[in-house]
Amino acid sequence: MEPLPHDAERVASFLLGAKRILFITGAGLSADSGMPTYRGVGGLYGDVPVREGLTIEDMLSGYMMRTNPSLVWEYLSHLAEAFNAAEPNQGHRVIAEMEAEFESVWVLTQNVDGLHRRAGSTNIIDIHGDIHGLACLKCAFEQRQVILANLKIPPKCPQCGEILRPTAVLFGEMLAEGKVAELQNQIFRGFDVVFSVGTSSLFPYITQPVTVLGQRGAKTIEINPAITELSNLVDVKMNARAASSLDAIWRAYRQRQKAS
C-alpha cells in the first residue's frame, strides 16, 4: 500500500476526538464524478454554447426563467446527459461514511447535482438547491428526484399546464431563507473540524463558516489545487483533488484508530 500524504496524516489527527464536522463542498468534488466544467460566478456549467449576445448568467437566470423558460430548458437539456450519468465518487462516499463515526456530520454544498444525498449523506444544506427537483411557476405542484434526461423539454405542470422550473437557485435569485437559517443555526452550535473541498470560495456564506469557526478554535482544512482567499487562513491547505484527498484522510484516520 502506498504511503499516505503527510497532510492526510495531519488532518486525520484533527479527527481523533472530534464530535462535529462540517464539509463545505463545491464544483471540485463533483468534477471527480465526471460532471462538466463549471464556469462563471456561482459555479454553474459552461461546457455548452449559449446563444449569441447572451451569457451563461443570462441563460440560467431567474429573470429568463420568468420571461422565457423554454430558453432556459433548452440550455439545461444539453446538461441532462451529464447529470444522468454522474455517480457519487469516493469523496462523497467518505463524507457519508463519516456520519456513522462522529456525533454529527453536516454538508454545506454549492452543488446542485444531488450526489451527496445519493452517496448516503443525510445532513445536507444544498444552498443552491437541487437540479433534480421541479416546481410549477404558477401553482403549488412540486416533484422531486426527476431524471432530467427523461423529461420532455420544456416540462409542463400536470395540474395547470404551466412550464415547470428546476428547484436549483438561478442567477439573480435569493437563497432559500430556511437553508440560510439552518446554516446559521449549525454555525452557532459550533464544529470541531471544518473542510472546504473543491470550492473557489467566492461567496460570504461559503467563507464565513471557515473563518468564524476557525476563530472559535475549530481545525480548518482546504482541499483545492487552486489558491483561494481561504488558502492562507486554514490550518492545512491540501493542493490536490477532492476525492483522492478525502480518501487518503479517511484511510489515515482508520489506521490511527487501529493503532490506538
Note whether 139 and 157 are within 8 A (CB).
yes
**% helix, strand, coil for the chain, step of 5:** 40, 15, 45
Q: Report in angstroms the alpha-carbon separations of 189 from 179, 197, 213, 217.
A: 15, 21, 10, 13
Q: At CA 95, angle to CA 179 and CA 36, rounded to 5?
A: 75
Distance, CA of 129 to CA of 136 (rounded, Å): 15
Give yes or no for a cis peptide into 209 (omega within 30° of 0): no
Q: Which residue do the cell numbers 416533484 mark?
A: 143
CB-count exposure of residue 181 (10 Å: 0-12, 13-18, 19+): exposed
Distance, CA of 19 to CA of 41 (rounded, Å): 34
DSSP-assigned beta bridge partners for residue 108: 24, 125
* Active site (catalytic) residues: 128
